[in-house]
Structure 1
Amino acid sequence: MTLLINLAGLLLIALIIGWFWLSQPGGRKTRSQQIVSETTVIVDNGVYDPAVIHARAGQPLTLHFQRKDPSPCAEQVVFHGLDVSAFLDTGKTTTITLDNPAAGEYRFTCQMQMYQGRLVVD
């Protein structure tokens, strides 16, 4: 019985690792990879949609985050390398404006880095 419980636990750990850390955002349904100055990001079921956002360097970018997932992990979005973060209320839209971001690639995640996305600024 103990062996069966341990095997079930290991299988669950493998599924969690695969879902949150090994899955590729490009493998899920995403919107067009066009350059935008404003877009809406849906936060639901452990993912950001779109997971990859393309923007122009030196131009303001407005992001509207709609949080549908009540999970505590989804309550904050953090833009690494830009020193920007915001708390997201469930069922509401939170707007973040990035003023003239520099060219580069920036990750955006939840506070526990389980939800993951990329901002590509060209």
Structure 2
Amino acid sequence: MMIINLLGLLLIALIVWWFWLYEPQAVIADKNTVTVVVDNGTYEPSRIRLLAGQNTTLRFLRKDASPCAATVVFADFDISEELQLNKPKDISLPPLASGEYSFACQMQMYRGALIVNENGD
């Protein structure tokens, strides 16, 4: 009985870490187009560093057939786009001010962030 309880607590800790505490390393975008692959319940890369004031295009490639993966929402920019399976979808973003901007699926299960700085770091 004790082993089952310990396994349950370990599973709870893993779930908390995965959904609320884990933050992957940010990818620094060195060009104006960044490809984001939607697969296995994640955006890859999920954290993208951008230079403030430049136009950026995010090219989403959906490989995940889950209905949750079908839409990407940028609430800060009032952008909601449908992503077709195995077809790239380009989303052009205006020049952004410094800050952090999130993007997610419509149910907030797939999540990502744009980290925008003056120097791109």
Normalised by the shorter chain, which TM-score bucket?
0.7 to 0.9
Q: Which consecutive residues of structure 2, in runs of 5 or more, have no partner in the other structure?
A: none
Task: Write the distance in 2 (CA, Å) between the matches of 1:37 and 1:72.
Answer: 29
Name 1:41's counterpart in structure 2: 36
Name 1:120's counterpart in structure 2: 115
Report the Cα offset of residue 24 of structure 1: 2.7
Give the one of 47, 67, 71 matched to 1:72. Answer: 67
CA contact (8 A) 1:107 1:116 kept: yes
Q: Aligned-pair RMSD on alpha carbons? A: 2.5
TM-score calculated relative to the size of structure 2 = 0.77
Name 1:61's counterpart in structure 2: 56
For the residue of structure 1 that corresponds to 2:77, the secondary structure is coil
Q: Which consecutive residues of structure 1, in runs of 5 or more, have no partner in the other structure?
A: none
Q: 1:88 to 1:12 in 2, by over 3 A?
A: farther
The sequence identity of aligned pairs, in percent, is 52
Report the Cα offset of residue 87 of structure 1: 0.7
TM-score calculated relative to the size of structure 1 = 0.76
For the residue of structure 2 that corresponds to 1:100, the secondary structure is coil
